[in-house]
Chain A
Amino acid sequence: MKNYLIICLIAALLVGCKKDDKPEFDRKAMLTNMASTVIQPAYTGMAADLAALHTSATNFTANPTVTALNTLKSDFIEAYKTWQHCKMFDFGPMMDYGIKASMNTYPTDTVQIQNNVSTGVYTLTALENVDAIGFPAIDFLLYYQGETAVINSFTTDPNATNRKTYLTDVTAKMKSEFDLVVSGWSSYESSFIASDGNDAGSSTSLLFNEFVKDIELLKNAKIGIPAGQQTGGMPLPDYVEAYYSGISTSLAIESIIGLKNVFNGATGSGFDDYIKDVEGEDVTVSLADNINTQFDVCKSAVNTIGNPLSDKVTTANTTVNNAYLEIKKLVTYCKTDMSSTLGLLITFQDNDGD
């Protein structure tokens, strides 16, 4: 009888407390949403953009006209922007195929590219060519000089034929490698969703770590290094992303949009909901709102810089540094408050919380 009463009491307590609860947050649901509304669409978009890029590269090399070049350029910019929405998913198939390095290692090695073009003998997958392929290589090939000179390099130049082959080899490689990611993801997706713990190898942990790493990349590679943060304040204009096309700032903005989308899980369950669920109702200003605000601050700070970043690092030093500092604040939020709130473990080792 006594035991029965105790059980009833506990049950009543549990039911009583569950009633006033918000809709249940659940890591698995977040991962499912991330997979279907954030990662999958980014991958599909990337695959489509790379297919289009390869097609217009083929068309341009078959018939190197100004129109074909402009189509190719706009497809290039489109794909480069979409890449900013993919690069933070450096786990699973993307990590397996080393996509991050092969797509976007910059600054590109122009000597290596010229050498590959003039000899016509190269293995694009070789380590020595990691900075002679991907978006930065195309950026160089299509923008290294004015329109006429570029057209000439694909028509009248002694190496024109080789250069055509090189361009389409690069775009073909990007397309075929990313197709592997897309097909790899379809089989990886279920294990991604299934690993819903908070341990060091869990998917939430992977996603969070890559998300933070990508914000740090935004801070260092896109802004900090060209601004001279690593070189005692001496600006390095040729270290910007997309140096030749000069779209660096636009790509940085795109990157912020992509990262914010990951944070919010597009319109579904994301890190923002997770944070709010852990915080509970007695928190006046949610960390999630602070982070979203900081994303917007970063975006407008980067937007203020304008294009091309390679000039702005010397002519608008203060504005560039301001953007750098705002992105650093965003990293601080993620590495301190967000990491602490999500309670993700960084190692598999024992821990008694000291």
Chain B
Amino acid sequence: MTGIRNRIRFNWFEQVSAAPLAVYRIGFGLLMLFSTLRFIANGWVEAQYISPSFHFSYYGFEWLPYPSPEGIYALFILMLIGSILILLGLFYRIGATLFFLAFTYVELLDKANYLNHYYFVSLIALLLIFIPANRYFSLDAKLGLTKYSKTCSKWNIRILQFQIAIVYIFAGIAKLESDWLLEAQPLKYWLHTAHHWEFFGPILKQDWVAYTFAWFGCIYDLTIVLFLALKKTRKIAYVFVIIFHVTTWLLFPIGVFPWVMMFATLIFFEPSLHEKILNFLRVLFGHHSPAIRRHPNVSRIPRTVIKGALALYIFIQIAMPFRYLLYDGNLFWTEQGFRFSWRVMLMEKAGYATFYVSDPDTHAEVEIKNCDYLTPNQEKMMSTQPDMILQFAHYLEEEYKDTTVERFGTQMTFTAPEVHAEVFVTLNSRPHQLYVDREHNLASIDNDLSERDWLEAFKE
């Protein structure tokens, strides 16, 4: 018992090897460099950030100015510079800050592009600003821009491990629900349609495969951190990490996320492994550690401040995924408290939203063609997410306010338009049901964090 307690009540400021941090820094910089280049090369900057004319801003971040196309590209160039600086450990803190700000700015521009793994990247970049991952095996140390140190405070490593634990454990808890465990949905349908290999196709179509994947995935998410933490099981656990993430990478268009996780979980390994990796890099690049006397790793920030900040961060990370408990209704249906909660691959939703702008005084009414205002991806996301439905409705209200439009040779004047919508949604292979009734004037409903009682109740 005392052994376990000691393990938990460790000294956050105990000096431990900084090798895992150096490897983490290099790996993160490299992956971010690669994924930013990939994003640009795929033309997604244009598709996701330049071509849309309307942007679904985040609650609380509506004030964020939307950059010009040049500005967007500048942000991506800042990300590239930031990731290179992180990778090299050169002006590291500036690099990490640049990367964090540019990346997070871009993410906050449009929630139609929200992905859990982007949120993960933002959090890691934020943590890296405060973690001195540049004291060892870095250009900063070599050039004397920072104090060279082979050691770091234990919390530097622990907080990165904690972040991974949060991702997996909450992803596992989220899977403890009937659709996933009892119906193997949406996995069953996804596996069925994802393949196009002659050999694996028929196997992936078997129901038992979907159930095996669902249960294995759930147990994996819930337990992998424990097995990575225990020395005895660490190696075999890492084999499972590889199997799990390579499988998801092969089956789903999940991007670089599997690679980020496979690399990030290395932080659980002992320093000796990281030293080996660094030695390999030393041989490869002929790097020599500067022959500077070892400095004690003294931070100028008082320990209580660091402890307080860490406690706050940990509290927020644990509390965020549980905020859905504050609301009534089915989480998958209302999506209140869905984002920033590590709910990955849990639901398949498809919606059909028809918007009507009308003015009771002038008897004008038009049916909206969503594609006139939204990209296909935005329309898909909007059709199933209540806050985005409201945002789009409010946008339409602004567009039609005090305007006269001509449709098919007919003039119609709108002064104070009402916006109504009829939305149907299907959730995890259930037959579609009414999501938003046309009776509500969405223009008069505020988009805030209160209960979404204008949504139709979910019927099992």
* Chain A interfacial positions (CB closer than 8 Å to B): 14, 17-18, 21, 24, 26-27, 196-199, 220, 224-225, 229-234, 236, 239, 277-280, 287, 290, 328, 331-333, 335-337, 339-354
A197-B196, A199-B253, A236-B409 as given contacts; A349 in contact with B206, CB under 8 Å: no
Q: Is the CB of A350 within 8 A of B338?
A: no
**Chain B, interface size: which category?**
35 or more
Q: Is the CB of B193 within 8 A of A343?
A: yes
| In the complex, residue of chain B having the shortest beta-carbon distance to the beta carbon of A278 | B192
Q: Is the CB of B203 within 8 A of A14?
A: yes
Q: Is the CB of B426 within 8 A of A337?
A: yes
Min CB gap B11→A, angstroms: 37
A277-B192, A350-B115, A350-B253 as given contacts; A230 in contact with B350, CB under 8 Å: no
A18-B202, A224-B367, A233-B365 as given contacts; A332 in contact with B380, CB under 8 Å: no
- Complex Cα distance A166/B208, Å? 65
- Complex Cα distance A80/B412, Å? 34
| Interface flag for B194 (CB, 8 Å) | yes
- Complex Cα distance A232/B357, Å? 10
Min CB gap B172→A, angstroms: 15
Q: Which residues of A contact B206 (CB under 8 A)?
A: 17-18
- Complex Cα distance A331/B432, Å? 12
| Interface flag for B73 (CB, 8 Å) | no
* Chain B interfacial positions (CB closer than 8 Å to A): 42, 44, 47-48, 113-117, 186, 188-190, 192-194, 196, 201-203, 205-208, 252-257, 338-339, 343-352, 354, 358, 363-367, 376-377, 380, 407-410, 412, 424-426, 429, 431-432
Q: Is the CB of B424 within 8 A of A336?
A: yes
| In the complex, residue of chain A having the shortest beta-carbon distance to the beta carbon of B434 | A332
Q: Which residues of B contact A332 (CB under 8 A)?
A: 352, 424, 432
A198-B196, A277-B192, A343-B193 as given contacts; A351 in contact with B358, CB under 8 Å: no
A277-B192, A337-B432, A340-B350 as given contacts; A354 in contact with B367, CB under 8 Å: no
| In the complex, residue of chain A having the shortest beta-carbon distance to the beta carbon of B114 | A354
Q: Which residues of A contact B190 (CB under 8 A)?
A: 343, 353
Q: Which residues of A contact B408 (CB under 8 A)?
A: 225, 230-231, 236, 239
* Of B189, B201, B343, the contact of A278 (CB 8 Å cutoff): B189
Q: Is the CB of A343 within 8 A of B253?
A: no
* Of A18, A27, A352, the contact of B116 (CB 8 Å cutoff): A352
Min CB gap B386→A, angstroms: 15
| In the complex, residue of chain B having the shortest beta-carbon distance to the beta carbon of A212 | B352
Q: Is the CB of A336 within 8 A of B351?
A: yes
Interface of B is mostly: mixed
Q: Is the CB of A354 within 8 A of B47?
A: no
**How many A-B residue pairs lie within 8 Å, measured between CB atoms?**
146
Q: Is the CB of B426 within 8 A of A347?
A: no
Q: Is the CB of A354 within 8 A of B344?
A: yes
Q: Is the CB of A278 within 8 A of B47?
A: no
- Complex Cα distance A345/B255, Å? 14
Min CB gap B55→A, angstroms: 16
- Complex Cα distance A290/B348, Å? 20
Q: Which 4 interchain pairs have the tightest Cβ spacing?
A: A350-B255, A343-B193, A353-B345, A335-B352
Q: Which residues of B contact A328 (CB under 8 A)?
A: 354
Question: Can you list 8 A-B pairs, Cβ within 8 angstroms, ordered by A?
Answer: A231-B365, A232-B363, A232-B410, A287-B431, A336-B432, A337-B350, A350-B253, A354-B338
Q: Which residues of B contact A229 (CB under 8 A)?
A: 367
Min CB gap B368→A, angstroms: 10
- Complex Cα distance A231/B203, Å? 53
Interface centre among A232, A290, A348 (most CB of B within 10 A): A232
- Complex Cα distance A347/B115, Å? 14
Q: Which residues of A contact B186 (CB under 8 A)?
A: 353
Q: Is the CB of B410 within 8 A of A231?
A: yes
Q: Is the CB of B407 within 8 A of A230?
A: yes
